[in-house]
Amino acid sequence: MASVNKPAINADAELRRIEGDGVPEQAWRESAWLRELPTEDPEHLFAGVQRLVVVSPHPDDEVLACGGLMASAHASGREVLVISVTDGEACYPDQPDWPPERLRDARQLELDRALERLGLAETPRIAWHVGDGAVAAHEADLQRWLRAVLRDGDLLLAPWHLDGHPDHEAVGRACAQAAAACGCGLREYPVWGWHWLDPAVAPRVWEGASRFALAPSLLLRKRQAIEEFVTQTGAVRELTAPPILPEYVLRRFQRDYEVLLS
């Protein structure tokens, strides 16, 4: 990571708030910078890579942000390893029918089904079961665990270290430290950055970003995979709270491309 860590953004946490409906998808569609972003071939990204390691703060972040690239890596014969830092069990604290114990199992099952949709049913997975919302307190542990897992020839995909969610940012920082210590390649993926970042500022903050086109068949599989996260989209019984992933959020991840930051 070089140019994504801009002082103006890094210093002001108020800019990184996840609230309301966020930036409309239409604003991103109208962004000339995003339309003209260099398109990178996945094979160029994977050149010299033996294994793709995708680290996710919560089960669903990896599929939302880079499910297409995970499937592409697998299709090219490369090993894919998926690491879930938390179980995402704290997403509905005020829903008595969805306590953390139930959500913990449900979200891991949803990830299983989503990966199957992507053709990754046999993909190795690691779950570290760090408390949802408490990742920052375990950042040193994450670095140590990652250094024990990473090896030569890995490419690490991690959440953007300024994504706006404390868990995402802590995971991003830990991944950057571990990748540097192990000499692994690192690319970051935004999830909540799409929600709060002004598209007019994106060229400066996300300098060096690349987009990766998804073929229609792969895009369909990714969209089907996202649908498996039923607790997050609200497609379950006994949920009276607004879903974590309403339609206006999902639109950002139903695009026919994915974006990585360098």
d(CA 147, CA 8): 30
Domains and CATH numbers, the chain: 21-260 (3.40.50.10320)
pLDDT confidence of residue 16: 87
pLDDT confidence of residue 5: 42
pLDDT confidence of residue 24: 97
Position 9 confidence tier, pLDDT thresholds 50, 70, 90: low
Asked whether residue 1 carries a pLDDT value surpassing 90, the answer given is no
DSSP state at residue 123: -
Position 14 confidence tier, pLDDT thresholds 50, 70, 90: low
Are the C-beta atoms of residues 169 and 139 closer than 8 Å to each other? no
d(CA 117, CA 223): 9
Sequence-ordered list of residues with C-beta below 8 angstroms from that of 66, at least 6 positions apart, any chain: 54, 157, 189, 258, 260
Radius of gyration of the chain (CA): 17
Polymer length in residues for the chain? 262
Position 34 confidence tier, pLDDT thresholds 50, 70, 90: very high
Reference 54, options 38, 220, 46, 97; nearest CA is 46
Kindly state the tokens that stand for 71: 């499937």
Mean confidence (pLDDT) of the chain: 94
pLDDT confidence of residue 17: 86
Reference 237, options 62, 102, 132; nearest CA is 102
pLDDT confidence of residue 4: 39
Q: What percent of the chain has pLDDT over 70?
A: 95
pTM of the model: 0.94
pLDDT confidence of residue 227: 98
Position 8 confidence tier, pLDDT thresholds 50, 70, 90: low
Asked whether residue 6 carries a pLDDT value surpassing 50, the answer given is no
Asked whether residue 121 carries a pLDDT value surpassing 80, the answer given is yes
pLDDT confidence of residue 7: 39
Position 38 confidence tier, pLDDT thresholds 50, 70, 90: very high
* pLDDT mean over 204-213: 96
Are the C-beta atoms of residues 101 and 72 closer than 8 Å to each other? no
d(CA 245, CA 229): 9
d(CA 207, CA 88): 30
d(CA 202, CA 206): 5
60-73: pLDDT as tens digits:
999 999 999 999 99
d(CA 259, CA 226): 17
* pLDDT mean over 176-205: 97
At 256, which helix (H) or strand (E)?
none
pLDDT confidence of residue 138: 98
Give the distance, in angstroms, between the CA of residue 22 and the centroid of all CA atoms in the same chain: 18
> Half-sphere exposure of 158 toward its Cβ, with a 13 Å CA cutoff?
31
| Residue type, position 8, single letter | A
> What order do you get walking across the sheet with 185-189 strand by strand?
125-130, 79-86, 51-56, 154-159, 185-189
At 209, which helix (H) or strand (E)?
none
